[in-house]
């Protein structure tokens, strides 16, 4: 990466901020969704995390709010659905928020990261000027099915400058009114540069609205799965739940979740299994059955593919990290 003035200024600004260990287990609800309390009048959150191999919450999560992920120090492997994205310091990732996503552990993993999340209504909703939907297009217009990543370098300079201004406004010890006004102004500036970079304005407004409606229509199913993930769920039953034909449902689900229904169910079940391995002393066999895997050997294979180790090894690693 070519070091730019904006990147140097951003790193310098971050030295004055406090980064917390990535420990979000307590904020996951019963459905595995990562809940961040956002004020109705100011639905914006900026989290400063420090990820290491020894300390970060493992397992996939999802959420309705939109999110940007920016590593600062070292490389990151970020998995969304069935895709793994390799990120370098300064890269800006537009997270596919409804896909099950998480950072992937690897030897030597150690970096700070900025996570910017907000509700889409903060930027565009019914009654907003018609052009404001353009700010959100990087989150909805992945027509080529590839993750949107603004790579660090000269082209990222304006976005880095906007991010630095956003951090300074958001964490300023100022009157709340000015914190909120400044934060929104610089968030919009950041989104403007992202939209320009991805040429998102080429997407027609009706396509954008259709993608939003598709996501909202499937929300009932996502909520159902997070509660009843251990139960069998056929394509027919899932499509009936959202009022779609099986063929239309399978196409819409793949577009929104980035994977098939079966793959998504397995991701949710494995995330829950990882949580039970971390937080309980239940046997691996009991956890497999509780999370919907009737065949323990199949559970072991799927868990190894998702987390890089067998369930028993995963639990032992967590115990060592926690000094148990």
- Tell me the per-residue pLDDT of 49-73, one tens digit each, with 9 for 90 and over: 999 877 666 666 777 789 999 999 9
Superfamily of domain 205-324 in CATH is: Homeodomain-like (1.10.10.60)
Q: Give dist(CA 239, CA 198) in Å, integer.
A: 33
**How many angstroms separate the CA atoms of 187 and 161, rounded?**
11
The CA-atom distances, in angstroms, between 118 and each of 181, 225, 300 are: 15, 24, 36
Q: Give me the torsion for CA of 164, 168, 169, 175, rounded to 10°.
A: 180
Q: What are the boundaries of each domain within the chain?
A: 5-202, 205-324
Residue pair 167/46 in contact by the 8 Å Cβ criterion = yes
- Report the pLDDT value the prediction gives residue 200, as an integer from 0 to 100: 55
How far apart CA 169 and CA 178 sit, in angstroms, is 8
Q: What is the chain's pLDDT, residue by residue, as a tens digit (324 residues)?
A: 567 899 999 999 999 999 998 765 555 555 555 566 778 889 999 999 999 877 666 666 777 789 999 999 989 999 887 789 999 999 999 998 877 788 888 888 899 999 999 988 899 865 667 678 788 888 876 555 678 999 998 789 999 999 999 999 999 988 889 999 999 999 999 999 998 888 754 555 556 666 667 777 888 888 888 889 899 999 999 999 999 999 988 888 877 776 788 888 887 888 888 888 888 889 999 999 999 998 889 999 888 877 778 899 888 877 776 665
In angstroms, the CA 288 to CA 60 distance is 17
Alpha carbon distances (Å) from 313 to 60, 66, 256, 308, 316: 19, 34, 33, 10, 5
The Cβ of residue 74 has, within 10 Å, a number of other Cβ atoms equal to: 16
pTM: 0.67
Quick one: fold of 5-202? Jelly Rolls (2.60.120)
């Amino acid at each position: 990466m070519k070091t730019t003035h904006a990147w140097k200024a951003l790193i310098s600004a971050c030295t004055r901020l406090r980064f917390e260990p990535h420990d979000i287990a307590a904020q996951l609800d019963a459905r595995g969704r990562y809940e961040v309390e956002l004020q109705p009048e100011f639905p914006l959150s900026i989290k400063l995390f420090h990820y290491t191999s020894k300390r970060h919450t493992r397992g996939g999560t999802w959420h309705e709010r939109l999110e940007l992920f920016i590593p600062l120090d070292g490389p990151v492997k970020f998995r969304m659905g069935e895709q793994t994205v390799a990120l370098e310091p300064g890269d800006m990732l537009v997270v596919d928020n409804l896909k099950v996503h998480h950072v992937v552990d690897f030897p030597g993993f150690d970096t700070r990261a900025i996570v910017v999340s907000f509700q889409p209504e903060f930027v565009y909703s019914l009654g907003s000027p018609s052009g404001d939907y353009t700010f959100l297009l990087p989150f909805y217009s992945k027509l080529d099915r590839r993750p949107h990543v603004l790579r660090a370098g000269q082209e990222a300079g304006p976005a880095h400058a906007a991010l630095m201004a956003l951090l300074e406004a958001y964490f300023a010890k100022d009157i709340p009114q000015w914190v909120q006004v400044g934060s929104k102004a610089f968030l919009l500036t950041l989104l403007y540069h992202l939209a320009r970079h991805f040429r998102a304005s080429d997407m027609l407004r009706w396509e954008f609205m259709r993608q939003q409606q598709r996501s909202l229509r499937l929300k009932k199913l996502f909520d159902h799965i997070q509660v009843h993930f251990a139960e069998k769920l056929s394509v027919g039953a899932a499509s009936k739940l959202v009022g779609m034909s099986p063929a239309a449902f399978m196409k819409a689900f793949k577009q929104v979740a980035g994977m098939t229904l079966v793959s998504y169910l397995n991701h949710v079940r494995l995330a829950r299994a990882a949580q039970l391995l971390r937080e309980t002393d239940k046997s691996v066999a009991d956890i497999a059955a509780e999370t919907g895997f009737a065949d323990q050997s199949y559970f072991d294979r799927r868990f190894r593919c998702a987390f890089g180790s067998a369930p028993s090894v995963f639990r032992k690693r967590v115990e060592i990290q926690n000094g148990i």
